[in-house]
Chains A and B, each alone.
Chain A
Amino acid sequence: MNIKVLGSGCSNCIRLEKNVYEALKQIGKEATVEKVTDYSEIASYGVLGTPALVVNGKVLFSSRVPAPFTLAEMLRKEV
């Protein structure tokens, strides 16, 4: 699984990244987690609100920081 956290590096983006790791631990899966901070690259995903999460090339959500539990549910569906 390839996960990208889109965001300029503000506190919300850092929190989302942390929650992603937490969620992965909860469902017991490994994944490569990348941070995308470049604005033109973020825009290339069509994302407006940051932070956003891209899993296997698909935008899952934007301008939200779901709790680890909610994230785990979402990631389970994407595996």
Chain B
Amino acid sequence: MQVIKDIFIWLNDALLKMTWLENLINSLLTNGFGMDETGYLFKAVSFFMFDVVKIFILLSVLIYISSYIQSHFSPERTKRILTKFKGIPGNIIGALLGTVTPFCSCSSIPIFIGFTKAGLPVGVTFSFLISSPLVDLASVILLASIFGWPVALAYVVVGLVIAVIGGTLIDKFHMENYVEDFVTQGPVIVTDSVEIETTRKERHLYAWEQVKEIIKKVWIYILIGVSIGATIHGFIPQNIIETVLGDNNPFSVLIATVVGVPMYADIFGTLPIAEALVLKGVGIGTVLAFMMAVTALSLPSIVLLKKVVKTRLLVTFVTIVVIGIIITGYLFNIFGYLFI
């Protein structure tokens, strides 16, 4: 058993944490450029270089793998699977499929209309829409690379629980009456023609296209995120951050959530900021709440959803997700020591 464990730790360190890369960069900075290993500049530059290289390598590999898996789950197929389930199982399957069904944020409206027209309960659709941006394969593995597997797995479970409970509550409150009329009117279309046979070569092409596309879309967020992270890591004194976001401030989770909700950023850009905050002693719950708030909700997505649902449903949705995130944050701050 010890051998297997050693191999896993070695693989984890080499491939996920990339400790060799960190050592390489640090020795380059100290020996090649003669930087002082205790200086602020060294900390910031080392953080920046290591994170940029690591995130881009991991991201390319991960997007490829997850896109390949996702090419098996079209939104149309997801819809057909979901129509077979009722009640809470429907919410659970909806939340699970949300993690593997590929969709860009601009697809959320057609998906919403399609699911609703197919007669799916509005709560199941929301379980899907909550979990989809919150939990995806690439971000979970990146999370494991930075904070370790226990935190990453806990994040997945919590994200799914929020999606299931959120969707279930929306059903319980009978929110189906607050969907815009045009969504439910009009004929139901059978979508068999949409299914096309996909060969392995096409899946490879699709996955490769996704890698190029997503990198092109998020590289700027990653650079901004890592720059902010590097600045926090190198230059901002620990006591300032601890006062605002530390465990002693009872409002830390609240602040992190409220700041994160309107922000529209990619999870990959948010991770380096989260990493720097944790290194400065901010509680893991506060950091996770910030990340969840950034990814699950954003002003653009709320504006988009407003086109298909009435204000009351929209407010209910945002409130449930925000409360879920805040509870998660405090729970992780209290029980986080179990994970790290």
Which residues of A are at the interface with B, using a C-beta cutoff of 8 A?
Answer: 7-13, 15, 39-40, 42-50, 52, 58-67, 70
Contact = CB atoms under 8 A, between A and B. Distances in A.
25 contacts: A8-B106, A9-B106, A10-B106, A39-B307, A43-B117, A44-B186, A45-B189, A47-B194, A48-B75, A48-B79, A48-B191, A48-B194, A49-B74, A49-B76, A49-B102, A50-B106, A52-B194, A58-B193, A61-B194, A61-B196, A63-B75, A64-B206, A66-B205, A66-B206, A70-B202
Nearest to B188: A46
Contact of A47 (B104, B114, B196, B205): B114
Contacts of B194: 46-48, 52, 59, 61-62
B209 interface: yes
Interface string B203-241: 001100100010001000000000000000000000000
B81 to A, nearest CB: 13
Contact of B111 (A45, A46, A49): A49
Question: DSSP majority for the B interface?
Answer: helix
Contacts of A62: 74-76, 194
Contacts of A15: 213
B133 to A, nearest CB: 15
Q: A-B pairs with the 6 shortest C-beta distances?
A: A46-B189, A10-B106, A48-B75, A46-B191, A48-B114, A49-B75
A50 B107 contact: yes
B187 A47 contact: no
A52 B113 CA distance: 15
Contact of B110 (A48, A65, A66, A70): A48
B158 to A, nearest CB: 27
Interface in B118-142: none
A65 B213 contact: yes
A37 to B, nearest CB: 10
Nearest to B206: A64
Contacts of A8: 106, 109-110
B328 to A, nearest CB: 29
Interface in B65-116: 74-76, 79, 102-107, 109-111, 113-115
A48 B74 CA distance: 9
B110 A44 contact: no
Contacts of A12: 104, 106, 213
A10 B104 contact: yes
A66 B190 CA distance: 24
B182 interface: yes
Given A39-B308, A64-B206, A47 B191 contact: yes
A70 to B, nearest CB: 6
Most buried by B among A15, A40, A42: A40
A43 B183 CA distance: 9
Interface string B146-181: 000000000000000000000000000000000000
A22 B213 CA distance: 18
Contact of A50 (B110, B307, B308): B110
A63 B74 CA distance: 8
Contacts of B114: 43, 46-48
Contacts of B182: 40
Contacts of B186: 40, 43-44
